[in-house]
Structure 1
């Protein structure tokens, strides 16, 4: 797969020409030439829908309690969907897509069908769940906490905290995972990663921070 290259000569290895591809799987994640994580999120949603559909008999069954069904849903559906979610660069559109899928599944488990209505907030309260967008943000910052606690010469810590020098090209910069977490960092009131390292060093404070990220916003009633 080639990214941002002008020269497209064939690449050969052991007298065999390597095929050019638009995307490929690497460690379970989708990598495509457009960058970002939209393709990976789409693939994960497809896998999660298949996993949820394969358990349809359980969702319809009266033998299992709602509590048991929710546990099965979390371990067999959400675990498939949220694999490597801490590395997703999500947009508002992605968050809405993920939250909508989550709410549809919860309504199916609770056997809430049209035209019966229930607000999103009531749905989360009845299932003791939070929006997936909040869960992903918490996973992302939980992982960042591990990075900030690593030794200073750690490559992964350097990749997160290093400030590149020089000037970027004119125009609006492309949104990346790093730019998105830096924006979230500023929303937390930290002007630099050093301030985050101070908080991350205290695991109790960091857990308190993560709990704050799990607070779901209010949701209106569905149409």
Structure 2
């Protein structure tokens, strides 16, 4: 293996067994997207997409069987939320990522109680109707602090 810089110094040439390896801007490692710029935008987007993939089948089962709101809440908290926040200990989220998480959360909760945005029902009321106490984005910050050992 041999590593050298190009003429401009911007990219790194890595040779492995005589083959030049391609340098990428982001890659997936154990379910998390690692970006060259160190940001978490791509990872948050990818986790929200994974949550949407899980939400569809779970929502289909719940709607077809007429399961109650309490079971809906438990499925949301135990299946969908962990899918979205997997690997969150690495996230230092900004306002835009927080908004993306909040939008996904409210989309799921509104769908579960059968209310669209057209009805203009406040997010807090939707959370109360669903019985969800924990917000998704602040929960990410709390888990990051817990992982760092700042809170128990």
TM-score bucket of the superposed structures, by smaller chain: 0.7 to 0.9
Q: Give the gaps of 5 or more residues in structure 2.
A: 1-7
Q: Give the gaps of 5 or more residues in structure 1.
A: 146-199, 201-205, 208-223
Superposed CA RMSD: 2.0
Contact 2:73 2:131 in 1 (8 A): no
TM-score, normalising length from structure 1? 0.58
Q: Counterpart in 1 of 2:120?
A: 117
Equivalents in 2 of 1:9, 1:38: separation in Å?
A: 24
Residue 63 in structure 1 maps to residue 66 in structure 2: yes
Equivalents in 1 of 2:93, 2:13: separation in Å?
A: 34
Q: Write the deviation string for residues 46-91 of structure 1: whole angstroms up to 9, x where unpaired.
A: 1111111222322423531111122112222211110011221111
Greater radius of gyration (CA): 1
SS at match of 2:120: coil
Residue 108 in structure 1 maps to residue 118 in structure 2: no
Structure 1 runs, 4 residues or longer, greater than 6 Å off: none
Equivalents in 2 of 1:106, 1:137: separation in Å?
A: 21
Distance 1:39 1:115, change over 3 A: closer
Q: How many residues align?
A: 144
TM-score, normalising length from structure 2? 0.83
Q: Counterpart in 1 of 2:3?
A: none
| 2:47 equivalent among 19, 44, 53 | 44
